[in-house]
Amino acid sequence: MAAAALVVGTHEVGNFQVGDWLKVAGIAAGVLLYTGVFASLGLLISSCSQTAKGALISSLCAWATMVWLVPNLCVHLAAFAVHGDDGRLVEANVNRLRVAAEERGWEEMSRFIGEKGWGDRQWANWNLEWGTWSDAVPRLAEELESLEDREELFSFAGRVMHRQFAPMERGAYQIMANHVQQRRNAVELGILLSCISPLAPFTYMLTGIARTGVEGELHFRGEVRRFKRDLVDYLDAQLAQRRMWQPVDPEGFPYFRYGGAAVWGSRVPVYAWVLALYVVVFFMAAYQALIRMEP
């Protein structure tokens, strides 16, 4: 309740929409359920303990296990169970793929430049350590006197880049997609295992309502990957039309637009039911323990 009151107190209530009030109600419900979990657990421990000292020690152990030990242990178990490549190795593989594509592309361009007799020009002997070979093309074109030579240079460079770009970027995208899927599987397994502790569904419920939790981040990352794929397709189409070195049309250029977020995460009701299940299980166990204690 305090969390919901804090949200209301730090915002202008007059500007609240229906979705905002639903979030406040969801936060209040989550806090009540979480409080009910530990109230029922405390009742269970008290009914099973012979002394107040034993009940206190058992309560502290239960709290430490559920709040600290189980959530942290589940994260490591999930990472161990879903083994994936290290992020630095994935980045190195992507860079290796792009460097190899750059080298093949510049080899084709170098042969073409030599065949045309432009090898004595300043930018004809481009070093890939200076940048991508596509940076050398407009510089070399400025040194060519004939407009036909410039058009031929741009035309050939466009064909080379088109052959290089699409396989390179799609290969890099596939490597990153596989890595992201491995990480997502580890996260999903970690979420599932950590729900052994009532702290996990409570945390996921509140962050899901605020759209700042794991589900919201995965949704955002998915939108970013979609935008990258659209950008690669756009550049590939530009290369197919040999317009790589022409001014970009702002009307057709893809822009990142983040949207599609619901009022709260789709799993929020699931986490609420998990908390409610904890309340029922602990309360019924405490009730049975109290019945057995009666003479």
* Rounded Cα distance, 200 and 70, in Å: 9
Which two structure tokens, joined as six digits, stand for 175? 């490597």
Query: What is the pLDDT confidence band of residue 214, given thresholds at 50, 70 and 90?
Result: confident
Q: How far apart are the first and last CA of the chain?
A: 40
Instruction: Give percent of the chain above pLDDT 90.
Output: 9
Taking a C-beta distance cutoff of 8 angstroms, is the pair 252, 237 a contact? no
pLDDT the model gives residue 32: 93
Taking a C-beta distance cutoff of 8 angstroms, is the pair 115, 98 a contact? no
Span of 37-51, 159-173, 183-197 with lowest mean pLDDT = 159-173
pLDDT the model gives residue 93: 86
Could you report the per-residue pLDDT of 232-253, keeping only the tens digit for each? Answer: 777 777 766 655 566 666 677 7
Could you report the per-residue pLDDT of 16-32, keeping only the tens digit for each? Answer: 677 778 888 888 899 99
pLDDT the model gives residue 159: 81
What residue ranges do the domains of the chain occupy? 2-293
pLDDT the model gives residue 274: 93
184 pLDDT higher than 80: yes
Q: Cα–Cα–Cα angle for 219, 225, 230, nearest 5°?
A: 125
pTM above 0.95, yes or no: no
Query: What is the pLDDT confidence band of residue 273, given thresholds at 50, 70 and 90?
Result: very high
Instruction: Give percent of the chain above pLDDT 70.
Output: 86
264 pLDDT higher than 70: no
Burial class of 123 by CB neighbour count within 10 A (0 to 12, 13 to 18, 19+): middle
Q: In this predicted model, which residue has the larger pLDDT, 227 or 12?
A: 227
> In the predicted model, what is the mean pLDDT of residues 120-144?
78
Span of 3-12, 83-92, 240-249 with lowest mean pLDDT = 3-12
Burial class of 1 by CB neighbour count within 10 A (0 to 12, 13 to 18, 19+): exposed
Average pLDDT, the chain: 80
pLDDT the model gives residue 281: 93
